[in-house]
Structure formats: C-alpha cells, structure tokens
Amino acid sequence: MLPEMLKAKTQLLFKQGFFATLVYKLKFEECYSIPTMDVDTITLRYNPDFVKALTIPETIGVLVHEALHCALGHCLPDRRANRNVKKWGRAIDYAVNLLVLNAKLELPEGGLVDYKFANMTAERIYDLLPDEPTDNNASQLDLSNFGDIREPTHEDGTPLSSGEIKQIEGEWKMAVKQATEIAKQAGTLPLNFEEIIDELNKEPQVDWREEFRYCMTSSNKADYSWARSNRRFVGQGIYLPSLYAPSMGPIIWAVDSSGSVSQNEFEVFGSEFNAVAEETQPEVIHFMWCDTKLHGIEEITMDQMPVDKIKPLGRGGTHFNRPFEWVEEQGIRPDCLVYLTDLYGECTIDPPDYPVLWINTSKEKTQKDVPFGTVITVEV
C-alpha cells in the first residue's frame, strides 16, 4: 500500500475510531485509470498520484467521505432509484461533505459544500438542486474533484440480485453499530455524533411504486448459479455460486372489500401490480376479496393478465386472518402475499413463513399497526 495512504489510515485509527472502523471495512486497491478515488461498498480504489498531491489530513477526509457513501447506501441502486446519476452524485456529495467537515476533518479544495443543506437527506437535497446549471459558473454544479462511487456488481460486471444488495446494506448497518461501540469504548465519538447517526439511520424517501417493485422483485424465488461467483468470498480465495432469480412462484393478492379501498385506489394500485407481475412472471396469482370472509377467489395465470376487470365483492366488516388461513388450508407456500387495505382491522394469526406486503391506503396507519410484514403506503 502507498505509504501516504497507510499513514492516513493509521492516524485515522488513533484519532477517529468511529470513522476508522468504517474505512477499515473496505479493501484497498491502487488504480491509475481513475483520476482520484472511487468506492463500491467493497473496494476503495485510489490513484497514487492523486493521494501524493494531498496532505495527510486531506487524505483522511476523502477516505471518510468514501466510507460514508457506503454506510449511507449511496452506492446502491435501490437508494438512487430512478434519479439522474449526475444530479444524484451532486446531492450525495453535498450530504456527505457536511458530515465530514462537521466532524472537524479536512477536505481538498473543490468539494461541494453548502450549509443550507445541513441535516437534509440526499433525497431532499436532490429535490432542491436544479437539473442544469442556471448561471455561467457551471463548475459549481459539477461533481467533486475527489471521491466517486460505483454500483457494486459481480466480477463479470453483471448486476447484483436484490438479495445480495440487501445483504450489503445489512452488513454496512452492522458496521455502523460496531463503529459506534468501538468509538464509545475508545472515547473517540465525533462531536456531532448524533447528527451523523441520524443521517445514517434515515430511511430514504422513495415513491411507493418503487418500494413495491423492489419488495416484489426481492421476493423472487432464487436458485444458485456457478455462472456468477459470490463476491462476499472471492477476496478470501473461495469461489461459491451466487443466487439468481428467474421467476416468481405463486403469489396471493387479497383486497379489503369492507369499503375501505376505493375503486380509484384499486385501479391505481392494480395498474402497478400488473406491471410488476409482468416483470416478475409469477407462476399463478390467487386473487381474492376479503372482509370478514373471503369472496370471489380467482386463480389467474399470466396469459389472463392484466387484472383490471374484477368487481368488488363483500362490503362487510374487516378481519385480516382469512387470506392467511386460506393459504394454510390449501397447502400453498406463496412467494409473497399482497394485501390492499386501509389497515383498519384485526390480525391475530402468527407470522407466516413467507413475505407479506401490506399496501396501505390510509395516512393514519403505519408499520406499527401490523404484527408482521412490510407496510407500503399508497398515495393516490
């Protein structure tokens, strides 16, 4: 390793245990083909000529800058979602650079810094940034002259599966927890520790359609393939097969017919459901209306799609147990159960061993109102 880089890592270890734990999670690799540094949550690449031109405190600042991009999930496609890549790059740099500077670390000149973005998520900053430069000083809207990000991929350049991405996300959250404990014991917590942890723990604000699509595609049934090596173990010289997801098995779509889901809400969500089903190709869709009982159970295959001409049945009270009981009675093991409802009702069964998505139409109800599964609030 470059002596200047080794010195920067060593000084960080003694002065900032919290950030050092995050930086030391990364593998380091010299790379003359990039102008400065970049990171993909696994490997931090650096151009030795760039590092030699920095002071040691500036090198430390850029290392922390890159590690925070990983800890905050900025490299992961599900956090960026469908946002413009360059504009997202500006937003995440504004967010991270303030955290670095507020921790009393240094950065090279030319970084994107604006204190009006203090305490904002990258998503909020993105929304406030113009799409294009609005004056002649376009350099103010360019990417930083240090520290880039890359989306993690397999060794052959193919995208990671949803499960692999969630695994990386979970590993970095665990790294933050470990960094917190280590820094507490060493008495080296950053002065603005609470602000940094708040930012690390903030949930990115995403459109419900993106969230639903992600949850559904991450429920794909998976198998192992030797065509792609599992990157988690390649660095140890161990080559294992990775997961791939060709299609979905059966899914259950239950709709609350007690009167709490309007026809408009059903149509809006149904349109998105059809689009995701087309993408994931479920083996079969078991569709049902449900109040205190089940009504109109239909078995729908992909050649019968889209689901758009089903009239509501029922309109009694609400009890959420019946779809889950029906699945148990039929001996079905679905890849996912999707329940469209306003969440006003009871659910008294034990958590099932398959994913459950509650598509919530109420602004008053949240994740805490269900005993299991994931709540996605639909905005119509």
Amino acid occupying residue 348: T
Give the predicted TM-score (pTM) of the model: 0.53
What pLDDT shows up at residue 28? 96
CA–CA dist 58, 105 (Å, integer): 8
Residue 229 contacts residue 239 (beta carbons within 8 Å): yes
What pLDDT shows up at residue 65? 96
| The token pair that represents 260 in the structure block | 């709490």
Q: Would you tell me how many other CB atoms lie within 10 Å of the CB of residue 272?
A: 16
Q: Report, in this order, helix, strand and coil percent for the chain, each rounded to 5.
A: 40, 20, 40
Q: How far apart are the first and last CA of the chain?
A: 54
What pLDDT shows up at residue 147? 85
Between CA 314 and CA 320, with CA 315 as vertex, the angle to 5 degrees is 85
pLDDT in tens, the chain (380 residues): 899 999 999 999 888 888 999 999 999 999 999 999 999 999 999 999 999 999 999 999 999 999 999 999 999 988 888 888 899 999 999 999 999 998 889 999 989 999 999 878 888 898 889 875 544 343 333 445 688 899 999 988 898 887 788 888 888 888 888 887 777 776 666 655 655 666 555 554 445 676 677 667 665 544 444 344 444 444 444 444 444 445 688 999 998 887 667 777 877 888 888 888 887 788 899 998 888 788 878 898 888 877 665 555 555 567 899 999 999 999 999 988 999 998 988 899 999 988 889 998 888 888 888 998 888 888 76
What pLDDT shows up at residue 246? 52
- Identify the CA nearest to 162 among candidates 232, 99, 216, 239: 216
User: Cis ω on the peptide bond leading into residue 306 (within 30° of 0)?
Assistant: yes
CA–CA dist 113, 90 (Å, integer): 10
Angle between helix axes 85-102 and 193-201 (nearest 10 degrees) is 150
Amino acid occupying residue 54: L
H or E stretch covering 254: strand 251-256
| The token pair that represents 289 in the structure block | 């209306």
- Identify the CA nearest to 218 among candidates 357, 324, 341, 359: 357
Residue 264 contacts residue 228 (beta carbons within 8 Å): no
Instruction: Give the phi and the psi of residue 11 in degrees, each rounded to 5.
Output: -65, -40
Angle between helix axes 3-15 and 56-71 (nearest 10 degrees) is 70
The ranges assigned to domains in the chain are 3-201, 245-377
| The token pair that represents 182 in the structure block | 């280590």
Residue 343 contacts residue 337 (beta carbons within 8 Å): no
* CATH hierarchy code of domain 245-377: 3.40.50.410
What pLDDT shows up at residue 42? 94
What pLDDT shows up at residue 319? 81
Strand partners, 27: 43
CA–CA dist 176, 380 (Å, integer): 36
- Identify the CA nearest to 168 among candidates 77, 64, 106, 260: 77
What pLDDT shows up at residue 364? 86
What pLDDT shows up at residue 247? 64
What pLDDT shows up at residue 188? 66
Rg (CA), the chain: 24
DSSP string, 104-150: T----TT----GGGTT--HHHHHHHS-SS--SS-GGGGSPPSS-EE-
3-class secondary-structure state, position 267: helix
- Identify the CA nearest to 24 among candidates 167, 166, 182: 182
| The token pair that represents 368 in the structure block | 């805490």
